[in-house]
Amino acid sequence: MPSKCINVEDWLNALDASGFRMTAVQETLIDIFAHSDFPLSAEQAWHVARQSRPKTGRATVYRMVEKLENLGLIRRVHGYQGCSHFVPTLPELMMLFICQSCGRADYLDSQPLQDLIHQSEDSSGHHITDSRLQLFGVCTSCQENA
Amino acid sequence: MPSKCINVEDWLNALDASGFRMTAVQETLIDIFAHSDFPLSAEQAWHVARQSRPKTGRATVYRMVEKLENLGLIRRVHGYQGCSHFVPTLPELMMLFICQSCGRADYLDSQPLQDLIHQSEDSSGHHITDSRLQLFGVCTSCQENA
DNA sequence: GATTTATTGATACTCAGTATCAATAAGCAT
DNA sequence: ATGCTTATTGATACTGAGTATCAATAAATC
C-alpha cells in the first residue's frame, strides 16, 4: 500500500535537490500520487487535483507527471484499463499487483524477482538494466466479498 | 524470435474458427505481426501494411489489432518508447526482453516466472490470473557491437 | 521589498484512436 | 459460375489525450 511506504518529505527533498522551485501544485500532486491506492493516469490526477485546487492547469499536471517520472519517483504501469497509469516508485524494487475487481494496487516482495532476473541474465546473455513485472488477478479482500 | 515461434496458419485458423471472413488485409497484418522482431504500434503496423497494400485504411488496422488482441494472438506491451506496442502471444507464456539499443524483442524461458507467480500467490493470498514481465537492457549482439 | 526567472494556467494545437457510412468483396445458395 | 446477403473495408469526420506557446504569476535571491 503506497501510503504506508512513501515519504512525502523525501519526494519534496528530491525535487528541491534537483533545483526545482517548491510550489503548491507540486505538493498537491505529490500528495495525490503518494497516497493513492490506485494507479492514476495524468488525466485522473488532474481531476483529483482540481478538487482541492480548482484552477490547476492540465498542462501543469502533465509537466509534473513527467518531472516525477524523470526523477524516478513515479513509474508508468500497464493500467487496469490502459497503459498510461502511474504508481509511486518504492525504495526497493517491488512487484506490482493490480486487482481486476477493485482496481487497487499492492506491492509484493521482490527478492524472488531479483533472483529470477539474475538467472535470466546468465542464461540469455542479455544485460538487463530494468524490469517491469505486473500481476493481475483478484485481491484477498475481493475474494472474501465474492 | 517471433518469426520462428509463430505459425501463421494457426492464426488464420483462429480467425476462421471465430467466424470472421478471410480477407487480404488480415493476412497482411498477421504476417506483419508474426514476423516482426520489434514490438509494433498499430500506427507502425499501418505504415508497414501500406508498403504492400497502399490503400489499406487506418481504421482497418486498428480494428484488426483489436481483433487479434481479443483473440489473444497479440498482446500489448510496454513499448520501447510508449505503451501501445504489440508482440505476438506465444503458445507458452514467455518473458519478454526488449533491447534499449536496437529495440529488438526476445523471449526467454518462463518456467522460473511461473514458479515465482505461484510463490507470490501463496504468500500474498491474491488470486493471480495474468502477468506481464518485461525486461529491458542491452542484448547480446548490441553488447558485442559496443 | 524589489528583481529575476522558473513555474503556472489558458489557449491553441497535434496526433493517436474511434465512429460513421457508402463502397467493396467474402461466403453461401442457387 | 452467378447473384444475393452482409461482414469488412477505406475515406471522412470526429474525440480526446498529450504538447507547445506565451503572458501572468509567484519562488528564490539580493
The angle subtended at Cα B111 by Cα A122 and Cα B85, nearest 5°, is 85
- What values do phi and psi take at B135, rounded to 5? -110, 135
Instruction: Give the per-residue pLDDT at A1.
Output: 44
95-134 of B, contacting A, C-beta below 8 A: 95, 97, 99-100, 106, 108-109, 112-113, 116-117, 119-121, 123-134
Give every residue of chain B whose pLDDT is below 70, as ranges.
1-5, 79-82
Residue with cell 525486461: B135
Show me where the domains of chain B are located: 2-88, 95-145
The class (CATH top level) of B95-145 is: alpha beta
Predicted confidence pLDDT, tens digits, chain A (146 residues): 444 467 888 899 999 999 999 999 999 999 999 999 888 999 999 999 999 999 999 999 999 999 999 998 998 887 655 677 888 887 777 788 989 888 888 989 889 999 999 999 999 999 999 888 889 899 999 999 98
Angle between helices A24-35 and A58-70 (to 10 degrees): 70
Contact (CB<8Å) A124/B106: yes
- At A56, give phi and psi (nearest 5°): -55, 125
As a whole-number percent, the residues of chain B with pLDDT over 90 amount to: 58
The domain made up of A2-145 is a member of CATH 1.10.10.10: yes
What does the pLDDT read at residue A146? 84
- Domain B2-88, CATH among 1.10.10.10, 2.60.200.20, 3.90.180.10, 1.10.3720.10: 1.10.10.10
- DSSP classification of residue A122: H
Q: Do B126 and A140 touch (CB under 8 A)?
A: yes
Contact B39, B87 (CB under 8 A): yes
Sign of CA dihedral B24, B28, B33, B35: positive
Interface contact B81, partner A, CB < 8 A: no
Distance B41 CA to D15 C1' (A): 20
